[in-house]
Amino acid sequence: MRGELRLTPGKVAVQVAHAAVMLAQRGRSADPRRLDAWLDTGQKKVALEVDTLAELEAIERRARAAGIPTAWVDDAGLTEVAPGTRTCLGLGPALPSEIDPITGTLRLY
C-alpha cells in the first residue's frame, strides 16, 4: 500500500481485497497448481506499506523479474482519492521464500 495516501482503514482493506481477488482470478488461468497450493495452505496475505508510488513500481519490477505475478489496483475515485490513483500492488500467489527477498524489509501496514 502507498502510505503517503493516508487512506482510512476501511479503504485500505478494500484495496488489498481487490488485489487478492485480481491475483486469484488471474492465477486460475495462468497457473492453477500454484493457486491451488495457495488456497490449500490458508491463502496467506500480508499488507505492507511503502512511502511512495515509485517504491511500489520498483517492487513490481523486482517481482516480475523473479516471476511473481503482480496486480495493480487503480482506484475508481468515488471516495478518498482521484480516479485512476494507483493505491496498491498485489504480489503472488508465491512462496514466502520467493516474496520475502523482495518485500521482507517493508513495514506492516
pTM of the model: 0.91
Q: What is the CATH number of the domain that holds 97?
A: 3.40.1490.10
pLDDT at 95: 87
Q: Which three cell numbers stand for residue 59?
A: 517492487
pLDDT at 84: 97
pLDDT per position in the chain (109 positions), as tens?
999 999 999 999 999 999 999 999 999 999 999 999 999 999 999 999 999 999 999 999 999 999 999 999 999 999 999 999 999 999 999 989 999 999 999 999 9
Pinpoint the alpha helices (H) of 8-86. 9-30, 32-40, 53-65
Residue 38 burial (CB < 10 Å; 0-12/13-18/19+)? buried
Q: Which three cell numbers stand for residue 74?
A: 487503480
Q: Look up the domain containing 35 and give its range.
A: 3-108
